[in-house]
Chains A and B, each alone.
Chain A
Amino acid sequence: MSVRTLPLVFINLGGEMLYILDQRLRAHNTSEDNSEKVMNDIVGTMFSKAFMDELLKPQQLYSHRTMKTVLTRLAHASIMRLNPASMERLYELMVMAFKYQVFLCPRPKDLLLISYNHIDAIREFVRDTPVVLNQVDETHRKIIEVFIIYSPLSAGEFQLLRQTLASDCGLRSVFCSGRRWTVTGRELRRTEFPYWRNYTQPIREGSFELYGNRVIRLGMNMYTVDHPEETHTSKASSVKPVDDSPNLLAKEELNLLARLMGTMKSENTSEAETGFRINLFTTDEEEKEAAAGGAEEPLFGVINIQAMQDQQATTELARIAGQFAEEEEKPENHSSSKGDDLLAMMDHL
């Protein structure tokens, strides 16, 4: 299938993740500074040049497992912490929103417009931090270059891209937000067509430039309006049955993951507080419940991988994992790293 899916997948899934996190940060009454820091850190990591360059190479779509791991690392590239149950729910919400957008876009090329909607919104989130804003602009320019100027995709190729994405979205959580979904998880597409009316030309085409009115509303932030309805996660039984056979591409995927994470800046905590926890459920009790229930029925089959043959990958992974774990144990470094960060920022300006 299509080998050009990854950049759009990450921008759209990442965008959805940021919408959800933004909404939860506001719901938790997190301080302005912390919220901004979290957004800047995540966006900065996601739109870093090395990460984007890796994604833009023609390659097959990652499995759900790999995607989830990379997105978890992305979410934790800041001082915010999510426990496994919350991360699980976050991932489900992200994928459902993205599936909704892929499913409903009127023309295959609108996938690009949906991605641009996400990028526009991300720009708004980081508008006060010039460094990160610049990264977002650079990535947007690169996407325009790749998809429109240098190797423009035809309608048929965009449709193949869309079919590749559609074949991968297997989750079926129930996303009750008013009119959009039936209880069994089927998306609603009701439109009335009053044929007796007078009709004028249909809506104008959205802009494919760096800035502009995209016209299409898919990809915009669904969470800005306060919905009184709750979002419900499905019980594990209604989830599509998982293929339990061991994924022999797992080793390859882990290698790729190691390469990708190696290109992600490991942020040391450069401020006094050591991080704060975010809860995607309405109460702490719900979160504990979901965590307890989730433990017995994991959404994805757990596989044990003996990666002993590839020493390099294991040590590399261990080193990177170690960097994340050591953040809280190096308070003495934070003054020097603070200085480093500042120097780096000044170099960019």
Chain B
Amino acid sequence: MYHKEKSIQIKNSASALYNNLGVLRIAPRRLTYFTVVHANVVNMVSASWDGLNYSHRQLQSKEPNVATSTSLIMQAAFCALPSRDLLVVTSQKGIQMYESDGSIMVYWHALDTPETPTEQAVFARGISAVWENYICVGVSSGAILVFDVPSKGSNITLSEVLEEHKESITDMASECSGSQECIANLVTADDEGNLCVWKSGEEFQLLNKIPGFDMSCSSVKLWKGTVVAGYGTGQIRLYEAVTGILHAEVNAHARWIYSLDIAPFSGLLLSAAEDSLVRVWHLTMTPETNSVEVAHLHNECVTDTQICGAKFCDGDGYAFAVTGYDLSEIIRYVQS
């Protein structure tokens, strides 16, 4: 179904972090941006669609005007809002937002770090663009920071802090940005496997809380009102977002799942785990019977690699890219 294409070499290897691959497709310029996190650096590659031009850039995590401080980055992800695209980088010290090509930093938010180190680590993790003008970022305390992003400029403000989770946020996802009306448009996951479903607005509204079973949910996606969540046990669970009904449970992988992605136009689901496998599934929603079907389509084994990031490169799922721990390349697969 898929065959391997030429990999893109990157300057450093990928770190063992959840969802460690960001992809942004820029159709007008026939380019795709990729981001891979390595320790305190984000490796950015801009790849032209004809496969001839690659340009590289590295972003460091540091506070503006403070030359010396760097901290370990937890995640880097693209946020595609109707008016603009931003690259958000979260680290132990704070949250940085860049223009999508990584050229200028438009916003910096520092995390509250206590004077003496406490038992719990402090960091930000979990990034999602929501609706027309919000970017949500999770924090290790379980809080979710909601930033209001204007269509132009750097006047980004912290509009709300949602405190519902008690454990560190691992990932979050949204759908219906800008166009359709959705009942729920944000889902957030934490280290205990709890999922919270929200509706965005001036004040975000908590619609549902789906309990976990003390097993970390490392990656989560939202599609057609269904939450697709990947867990440390290697399972993928599909819940109906608003009601919390469990539609399906898939024993997908033999080890911790590190990344999930959905191609919204075709209903393809991509899952990648520490067991060196990337699997492609197909989701079928039948609203009449209120059921969801999951079909397994394809596997790729990246030999001797713990995979830490996997994403579709386009909305149809025609191609996907994969990163692995200690691998200095982005491996690409294309439908045959």
A182 to B303, CA, bound (A): 12
A interface secondary structure, majority: loop
The reply to whether the CB of A248 lies closer than 8 angstroms to some CB of chain B is: yes
Given contacts A58-B117, A154-B214, A155-B216, contact A248 B68 (CB under 8 A): yes
- Which parts of B233-258 form the interface with A (CB within 8 Å)? 255-256
Q: Are A3 and B121 in contact (CB under 8 A)?
A: yes
Residue in contact with A189 in the complex, picked from B120, B216, B276, CB distance below 8 Å = B276
Question: Could you tell me the distance between the alpha carbons of A208 and B255 in the complex, rounded to whole angstroms?
Answer: 21
Chain A residues, CB < 8 A from B215:
155
Which A residues are in CB contact (< 8 Å) with B255? 106
Specify which chain B residues have a CB less than 8 angstroms from the CB of A59 in the assembled complex.
Answer: 117
For the complex formed, measure the closest distance between the CB of B308 and the CB atoms of chain A, giving whole angstroms. 9
Judged by a CB distance under 8 angstroms, whether A125 is at the interface is no
A325 smallest CB distance to B (angstroms): 34
- From A60, A106, A163, B16 is in contact (CB under 8 Å) with A163
- Residue of A whose beta carbon sits closest to that of B92: A1
Q: Can you list 24 residue pairs at the A/B interface with Cβ under 8 Å? A: A1-B123, A3-B117, A3-B119, A57-B117, A58-B117, A106-B255, A108-B256, A154-B192, A154-B214, A155-B214, A156-B167, A156-B168, A156-B191, A156-B192, A156-B216, A157-B191, A163-B16, A166-B15, A167-B15, A167-B16, A167-B39, A182-B304, A186-B304, A248-B68
Q: Is the CB of A103 within 8 A of B167?
A: no
In the complex, the answer to whether A167 meets B232 with C-beta atoms within 8 Å is no
Q: Which of A106, A160, A182, A186 has the most CB of B within 10 A?
A: A160
Contact flag A151-B121 (CB < 8 Å), given A166-B15, A186-B304: no
A248 to chain B, nearest CB (A): 5
Kindly state the separation between the CA atoms of A106 and B16 in the bound complex, as whole angstroms.
15
In the bound complex, do residue A58 and residue B118 qualify as a contact, i.e. CB atoms below 8 Å apart? yes
Q: Which of B292-336 contact A (CB under 8 A)?
A: 304, 306, 325-326
Q: Chain A contacts of B304 at CB under 8 A?
A: 182, 186-190
Q: List residues of B (102-161) whose CB comes within 8 Å of A's CBs.
A: 117-121, 123
Alpha-carbon distance between A164 and B119 when the two chains are bound, in angstroms: 15
Contact with B along A139-183 (1 / 0, CB 8 A): 000000000000100111101101110110000000000000010
Contacts of A60 in B (CB 8 A): 117
Would you give the 0/1 interface string for B272-300, flagging 1 where the beta carbon is closer than 8 Å to chain A?
00001000000000000000000000000
In angstroms, how far is the closest chain A Cβ from the Cβ of B117?
5
- Is A2 among interface residues, defined by CB-CB distance under 8 A? yes
When chains A and B are docked, how far (Å) is the Cα of A210 from the Cα of B92? 35
Q: Are B72 and A154 in contact (CB under 8 A)?
A: no
> What is the 8 Å Cβ interface bit string for chain A, positions 1-27, against chain B (1 contact, 0 not)?
111100000000000000000000000
B227 part of interface (Cβ distance < 8 Å)? no
Since A3-B118, A154-B167, A156-B167 are in contact, a sample of 15 more A-B pairs with Cβ atoms closer than 8 Å, ordered by chain A residue number, is A4-B119, A58-B119, A151-B119, A155-B214, A155-B232, A156-B170, A156-B191, A156-B192, A157-B191, A163-B16, A163-B17, A166-B325, A167-B17, A186-B304, A186-B326
Say whether B16 contacts A162, CB under 8 Å.
yes
The answer for the CA separation of A59 and B122 in the assembled complex, in Å, is 11
Number of A-B contacts (CB under 8 A): 68
Task: State the majority secondary structure of interface residues on B.
Answer: loop
Query: From residue B251, how far is it (CB to closest CB) to chain A in Å?
Result: 14
For B120, give the chain A residue with the smallest CB separation.
A3
Report yes or no: A1 in contact with B121, Cβ–Cβ below 8 A: yes
CA distance in complex: A156, B191 (Å): 5
Q: Lowest 9 CB-CB distances: which A-B pairs, in order?
A: A156-B191, A156-B216, A166-B16, A248-B68, A58-B117, A163-B16, A167-B15, A3-B121, A1-B72
Residues in B neighbouring A4, C-beta threshold 8 A: 119
**Cβ contacts under 8 Å, A155 to chain B:** 214-216, 232
Q: How far is the CB of B53 from chain A (nearest CB, A)?
A: 25
- Please, which residues of chain B bring their CB within 8 A of the CB of A164? 72
In the complex, A117→B38 CA distance in Å?
Answer: 31
Are the C-beta atoms of A160 and B16 separated by less than 8 Å? no
* A182 contact set on B, CB distance < 8 A: 304
Q: How far is the CA of A186 from the CA of B74 in the complex (A)?
A: 24
Interface residues of B in 33-88 (CB under 8 A from A): 39, 68, 72, 74
Determine if B72 and A167 form an interchain contact, defined as CB atoms under 8 angstroms apart. yes
Contact partners of B216 in chain A: CB under 8 A: 154-156, 159
Which residues of A35-68 are within 8 A (CB) of B? 57-60
Give the interface centre of B123, B255, B325, B326 by most chain A CB atoms within 10 Å: B326
Identify which of A4, A60, A167 gathers the most chain B CB atoms within 10 Å of its CB: A167
- Select from chain A the residue with minimum beta-carbon distance to B233: A155
> Which A residues, 101 to 137, have Cβ-Cβ distances below 8 Å to chain B?
103, 106, 108
Say how far B277's CB is from chain A's closest CB, in angstroms: 12
Please report the C-alpha to C-alpha distance between residue A60 and residue B214 in the assembled complex, in whole angstroms: 26
Whole-angstrom CA separation of A60 from B74 in the bound complex: 15
- What's the nearest-Cβ distance from chain A to residue B191, in Å? 3
Complex Cα spacing A1 to B326, Å: 18
B-contact bits for A88-111, CB 8 A (1 contact / 0 none)? 000000000000000100101000
Which B residues are in CB contact (< 8 Å) with A103?
306, 325
The chain B residue sitting closest to A5, CB to CB, is B121
With CB as the reference atom, state the residue of chain A lying closest to B68: A248
Given A159-B216, A162-B16; A2-B121 close (CB under 8 Å): yes
- Chain B residues with CB under 8 Å of A57's CB are 117
Q: Write the nearest CB–CB distance from A272 to chain B, whole angstroms.
A: 46
Chain B nearest CB from A16 CB (Å) reads 20
Complexed CA–CA distance, A157 and B276 (Å): 22
Q: How far is the CB of B331 from chain A (nearest CB, A)?
A: 14
B94 to chain A minimum Cβ distance, whole angstroms, is 15
Instruction: Give CA–CA (A162, B232) in the complex, Å.
Output: 13
Mask of B185-215 contacts with A, CB within 8 angstroms, 1/0: 0000001100000000000000000000011
* Shortest Cβ gap from A159 to chain B (Å): 7
Contact residues in B for A1 (Cβ distance below 8 Å): 72, 74, 92, 121, 123
Q: Which of A3, A106, A157, A163 contacts B15 (CB 8 A)?
A: A163
List of B residues within 8 angstroms of A162 by Cβ: 16
Determine if B256 and A160 form an interchain contact, defined as CB atoms under 8 angstroms apart: no
Q: How far is the CB of A165 from chain B (nearest CB, A)?
A: 9
